[in-house]
Copies of this chain bind each other. A is one copy, B any other.
Amino acid sequence: MELVQAQIKDMGERALAAKRELITLDGKKRKEVLYAISDAIEKNAEYIKRENEKDLANGRKNDMTSALLDRLTLTDERICGMAKGMRDVAEQDEVVGKVLEEFTRPNGLKLQKVSVPIGVIGIIFEARPNVTADSAALCLKSSNACILRGGKEAIFSNTAIAKIMREAICSCGVNPDCVQLVENTSRDSANALMRANGYVDVLIPRGGSGLIRAVCENATVPVIETGAGTCHVYVDKAADIDMAASIIKNAKTSRPSVCNACECMLIHADIAEKALPRIYEALSEKNVEIRGDERVCAILPEAVAAKDEDWGCEYLNYTIAAKVVDSIDSAIDHITKYGTKHSECIVTEDAAAAEYFMQVTDASSVYHNASTRFTDGGEFGFGAEIGISTQKLHARGPLGLRELTSYKYRIYGKGQVR
C-alpha cells in the first residue's frame, strides 16, 4: 500500500505541474493537441488492436461473459470512433475563461466571475478501454489534467492508448503529464486515488453501481456521483394510451443496458384496464417480461408476480416492473422511495398534472410525454459527456464539457481596504 501511495503522490505532483501549464495554454493549442492525439490513435490502430488482443485473451481465459468481452473489444471501427470523437470534442466551443458575471461594488471593486478548469480530475472506470481516450479528450478540451485509473481487464489496451496519447501531447511541446494512467490496477491504487486530497480536485467514477458505491464510501476527495438509473414512466389517468405504450416500449427496449432506460411503469388505476393490455402488446414485440403487482397481474394474466426486490431494481435487460397507483401522489411516492434521481417521466394530456409531477419529482431530468432515453449529452446538445450526474452538487444530468469547469472570482481594486 505504501508503495502505491507514493506512486499516486508522484503522479499527483506531476499533475499539479501539468495543470499549471494547461491553464495558460490557449484554445488553439489545445485543439492542436486533440487533433495530434486523434491522428496518432488512427495511425497506431494495429498496435492498439495487438495490445487489446492480450486483454481479450486474458478475458477468455478468465471466462469473461460475452457481453463484457464485447465491451472490451477494440475493432478498427471502434478505434476510428475514438479518434472521431476526439475531433468532435476539439471542435466544440471553449468553456474556460468565460466571464459568467461582472459587477462593480459601491466601493469601486470590480468583480468578475470567470469559468476555470476544475484542475486535476481523477477518473476511475471499469472494462471499456475507449473511456481512456474519451475522458482524456473532455479533460484536455476543458484545460483539466487527468489521472485515469481503468480496470485490470483492459490494462494492456489502456496502457497502449495512454502511451500514444502522451507521445502525441509531447510532440506538440506540451507536458504529457496532463494525461496520466495509473498502471497499477490493484484495489490499493484506486483507494490511494480516492484519498489523494491536495492533488486531485474531483473524482468521477464511470461504471456500474458497485464501483460508484465503493467510491462514494471511500473517497475523501470530492466525488461527482454518476450513473445508476432506475427510471420510471408514470401513465396518468389523462394519458394518451398509444403514446404511453410507444414511450414505454422505447424507454425500455431501445437500449436496455443503459442508465436512462425505463425500469418500472406506474399506471393510474382509472386507466389501467385499458392501458395495460395496449402497453403489453407493444412490449411483447420485444419479448419484455412484466413483473407486476397484484392489480397489474389481475388485469394482465401474462405478467409475472413482482417480488419486493423488483421495486427499484435496475434490470438493464428486457424486464420491466409494473404497478397500479391510485393517484399522481402515489406515483411520486413510489419514485421518491425507489428512484435514483436520474430521469422520470409522466405521460398525460393534463398540463397541470404534468407541471405538478415535474415540480415535485426529484430527478436530474423530468419528462412530460417523451422517452427517458433522451437524458444524454448528445441528445441534449451538449456533445460528448463523461456521465450522468445523479447527485445535487455541482451538476445534474449529462456532464458535458461545461460541467467539467468551476469558476473563480477575479477582483480588481485600487487599494481598497475594509
Q: Which residues of A contact B (CB under 8 A)?
A: 16, 19-20, 23-24, 103, 105, 109, 111, 118-119, 197, 201-202, 216-217, 220, 222-225, 240, 243, 246-247, 249-251, 254, 332, 336, 358-360, 362-371, 373-375, 379-381, 391-394, 396-397, 406-418
Chain copies in the assembled complex: 2
Instruction: Tell me if A's interface is mostly helix, strand, loop or mixed.
Output: mixed
In the bound complex, residues from chain B placing their C-beta under 8 Å from that of A197 are 216
Residues in chain B near residue A418, CB distance under 8 A:
250, 254, 371, 373-374, 379
B409 near A365: Cβ-Cβ < 8 Å: yes
Q: Is A412 a contact of B368 with CB atoms below 8 Å?
A: yes
Q: Could you tell me the distance between the alpha carbons of A391 and B16 in the complex, rounded to whole angstroms?
A: 16
Q: Distance in Å from the Cβ of A380 to the closest Cβ of chain B?
A: 7
Residues from chain B with Cβ under 8 Å of A220 in the complex:
216-217
Q: A249 contacts which chain B residues (CB < 8 A)?
A: 417
Q: Are B413 and A336 in contact (CB-based, < 8 A)?
A: no
**List of B residues within 8 angstroms of A380 by Cβ:** 105, 111, 409
**By the criterion CB–CB under 8 Å, are B336 and A414 in contact?**
no
**In the complex the two chains form, is B119's CB within 8 Å of A408's CB?**
no
In the complex, A411→B373 CA distance in Å? 12
A80–B201 CA distance with the chains assembled, in angstroms: 41
Q: Contact between A202 and B336 (Cβ–Cβ < 8 Å)?
A: no
Known contacts: A201-B392, A415-B243. The answer to whether A364 contacts B409 by CB under 8 A is: yes
Interfacial chain B residues near A217, Cβ < 8 Å: 220
